[in-house]
Structure 1
Amino acid sequence: MFDLSGQVALITGSSRGIGYAAARALGGQGAVVVINGRDPAALAQAATELRGEGITVHALPFDMSDIDQAVKAIDEVLKTVGRIDIFFANAGIQHRELLLSFPLREFERVIFANLTSQWALGRHIAQGMASHGYGRIVFTGSVTALLGRQGVTAYTAAKAALHGLVRQWAAELSESGITVNAIAPGYIKTELTKNLWDDAKFTAWLQDRVPQKRWGVPDDLASALVFMAARESGFVTGQILAVDGGMSSTM
């Protein structure tokens, strides 16, 4: 089950962290992976490592926040790979500041990167999927869209809207053979959360709050993604799967 041989997967934000683990997992199941990041050097290093594991990789540097650049880059790689069967929209940014001092320009920047650009690029890829009658789209949501937390007002707003987009797209794209789902990570050790896992007080709070008493790691999300990307999950769409060690299920 979950054999992805012959399929092509595009993973944004995949030179490290969750995206890299996702590329490794999808490639390990036989998919050709197209990895993406803003730093060409970091992306090249990630591609070399994945190829060392026998995975077929194409490196595609672009910034998700530059929609025109992103669409152009994807259209260019399509000339080589032919189509995209799986799209994992994982790239995102964060700005941490309390609501009453949160700058409007930062709110707009985070919303654009985490919602608007996801919508624009996802729609572009969905058009190609629809023409082939098949596709798997998975967004990176967040447990903060389910449970509020201080200091992440823009990120929470973007991810909550993204969860709504998943349900809306499922309603619109199902007849085209496309499923649309999201993974809502809890607190995962990545570069985006480094300032938190460097904070001993926060880690102590997290271990007390999460039933599994630990931080998540990128590989914790990989198996959930493989399931959502596989043909076998064809009757699963419009769903948000929390991968958070039980955090959002307990008081």
Structure 2
Amino acid sequence: MSDAGLFSLAGRRALVTGASRGIGFTLAKGLAEHGAELILNGRNSDRLEEAKAALAKDGLKAVTSSFDVTDQTAVIAGIDAIERDVGPIDILINNAGIQRRAPLDQFPRADWDALIATNLNAVFFVGQAVARQMIPRGRGKIINICSVQSELARPGIAPYTATKGAVKNLTRGMATDWARHGLQINGLAPGYFETEMNEILVANKEFTEWLCKRTPAGRWGRVEELVGAAVFLASDASGFVNGHVLMVDGGITVSV
């Protein structure tokens, strides 16, 4: 197979959760540019339609499927509907996620529960529902969006760090259980990127100066720089890669 063929996603169908904006939208667009058929998921159907329209302006097609990834019953029904009405899911990017910031000793229970529900439970719910469809076919790619916080902690976001650490090990567990069925399950871990979730940090001059000194690359990441890693994990190029978490972080996790 040629190098181009190794990274081609032509004929593959990809479901991306949290796809209406930010990293999810960028990854969805990147997969489509490499030939994948897109299914955009999110809770807000209006935002999904806006994302679909934005892709259409670039000549990229997508369908939308709005369901709440924190509701297991809704997830199962949503995945069943996609498989029945759209077609088999070949690639899943488990991207939906939220952030809550507060000192740990003052962290509200409601925010803890929301983080667990969205950042961890949803990865299990959607991953399991999709894997149940992939296993009989003997193939499939699942990419869980981890984080630099899967490895590192920072003041004010300990519960977020806990969820992303759990996603890292859930990814390893999924690979351990499902690799024998022909599935590849890996994690993609962004470092500090200029996203809507991080806009409060990007606007903080003191934090940005600290980050640029702390990161060997000396800058914030750009979301487009995640696409190559996602395409690699979604394509035949990663056919024997399983349970791996690929850091895309400018070197922050390897430097002191």
Residue 83 of structure 2: aligned partner: 78
Is the counterpart of residue 109 in structure 1 residue 77 in structure 2? no
Q: Confirm or deny that 1:37 pairs with 2:36.
A: no
CA distance in 1, matches of 2:21, 2:117: 22
Asked if 1 retains the 8 angstrom alpha-carbon contact of 2:95 and 2:145, the reply is yes
Runs (5+) with no aligned partner, structure 2: none
Q: Could you tell me whether the CA contact under 8 Å between 1:35 and 1:58 is conserved in 2?
A: yes
In 2, the alpha carbon distance for the partners of 1:152 and 1:135 equals 33
Counterparts of 1:142 and 1:72, CA distance in 2: 29
Q: Distance in 2 between matches of 1:55 and 1:7?
A: 14
> Does residue 1:213 correspond to 2:218, yes or no?
yes
CA deviation vs aligned residue, 1:106-149 (integer Å, no higher than 9, x gap):
21221121111210111010010101110000001011121111
Mean alpha-carbon deviation: is it higher for 86-95 or for 73-82?
A: 73-82
**Which residue of 228, 233, 239 corresponds with 1:228?**
233
The amino acid of 2:214's aligned partner reads R
Three-state SS of the structure 2 residue aligned to 1:58 is: strand
State how far apart, in whole Å, the 2-side matches of 1:221 and 1:15 are: 16
CA contact under 8 A between 1:30 and 1:55: conserved in structure 2?
A: no
Q: Deviations over 1:193-216 (max 9, x none)?
A: 111111111111111111111111
Give the whole-Å Cα distance in 2 for the aligned partners of 1:45 and 1:113. Answer: 22
Give yes or no for contact 1:8–1:81 (8 Å, CA) kept in 2. no
Gaps of 5+ in 1: none
**CA distances 1:3-61 after superposition (whole Å, capped 9, x unpaired):** 11111000001111111111111101111010112222221111012123232211112
- Does residue 244 of the first structure (1) align with residue 246 of the second (2)? no
The alignment status of 1:176 with 2:153, answered yes or no, reads: no
Q: Confirm or deny: 8 A CA contact 1:9 1:32 kept in the other structure.
A: yes
Report the Cα distance in structure 2 between the residues aligned to 1:50 and 1:79, rounded to whole angstroms: 24
Distance in 2 (alpha carbons) for counterparts of 1:19 and 1:217: 13
| Structure 2 partner of 1:131 | 136
Please report how far the alpha carbon of residue 175 of structure 1 lies from its aligned counterpart in structure 2 after TM superposition. Answer: 1.2
Residues 226 and 248, structure 2, Cα contact 8 Å, conserved in 1: yes
Please say if residues 69 and 125 of structure 2, whose CA atoms lie closer than 8 Å, have aligned partners that are also in contact: no
Question: Counterparts of 2:25 and 2:246 in 1: how far apart (Å)?
Answer: 19
CA RMSD of aligned residues (A): 1.2
SS at match of 2:197: helix
Runs of 4+ that moved beyond 6 A: none
The TM-score normalised by the length of structure 2 is 0.95
Amino acid at match of 2:116: I
- The CA distance in 2 between the partners of 1:119 and 1:64, in whole Å, is 10
Shift of 1:69: 2.0
Secondary structure in structure 2 of the residue aligned to 1:13: coil
User: Within the alignment, does 1:156 sit opposite 2:172 as a pair?
Assistant: no
Number of positions where the alignment pairs a residue of Structure 1 with one of Structure 2 = 251
Tell me if the contact between 2:104 and 2:158 (Cα under 8 Å) persists in the aligned partners: yes
The 1-side partners of 2:110 and 2:30 are apart by 36
Matched, 1:3 2:3: no
How far apart, in 2, do the equivalents of 1:71 and 1:128 lie? 11
Aligned partner of 1:14 in structure 2 is: 19
Q: Deviations over 1:203-238 (max 9, x none)?
A: 111111111111112111111000000012110011
Distance between the aligned counterparts of 2:75 and 2:195, measured in 1?
24
Matched, 1:144 2:149: yes
Q: Distance in 2 between matches of 1:214 and 1:66?
A: 37
